[in-house]
Amino acid sequence: METTGVQSTSSTQSTQSTRTTGNFDLLDKNQFMKLFIAELENQDPLEPLQTNDLTTQLAQLSIVEQSEHMSKSFDELLDIQRSMALELTSLKERISMDNTFATYASFIGKQGSWLNAEGEENTGTIDSVISRKSQFYAVINSEEIPVTEIFRISQGVNGAESDI
């Protein structure tokens, strides 16, 4: 019985395959596993993958899994930071609105002066301050006057004045 020799050409392919798997940052875990299994299935039985090579490739798989996990964690952290930034912006706006309202509320009981539609100066006691759709109004003689149109606030009829 005559035996013919088998010549191996896959050792070069195995080395090249190992080098390409070194660029694992372009592969996800499933792609890496498919490539790894294909390499094991197609390895030369006369020159099987060395234990060190196998260990190195399994370590690379672990690194790929860890980097995927870290990427997901960073995405979650980024989402949390975005959410917190929105909350802080909303809080800042509410505080600003509260401060503005408190300032305008300090006008209650004082005399306010504004120009009417004909350009005539009107003066009256500010009874209350209201907020509607982020706009503030002083209620004077049951009329809602935008606070931005009030140009003078005074303590009373003979009180000190301050232009605003």
* Per-residue pLDDT tens over the stretch 75-100: 999 999 999 999 999 999 889 888 88
88 vs 163, higher pLDDT? 88
pLDDT at residue 10 greater than cutoff 60: no
The CATH number of domain 106-158 is 3.40.50.40: no
Alpha carbon distances (Å) from 164 to 64, 103, 106, 124, 150: 64, 12, 13, 16, 7
What is the Cα–Cα distance from 34 to 102, expressed in whole angstroms?
66
pTM, two decimal places? 0.45
Q: With bands split at pLDDT 50, 70 and 90, how would you rate the model's confidence at 40?
A: confident
Q: With bands split at pLDDT 50, 70 and 90, how would you rate the model's confidence at 157?
A: low
Give φ, ψ of 62 to 5 degrees.
-60, -40
Span 100-153, pLDDT tens digits: 888 888 999 999 999 988 999 999 999 999 988 888 999 999 999 999 999 999
* Bridge pairing between strands 135-140 and 143-146: antiparallel
pLDDT at residue 158 greater than cutoff 60: no
Enumerate the β-bridge partners of residue 146: 137
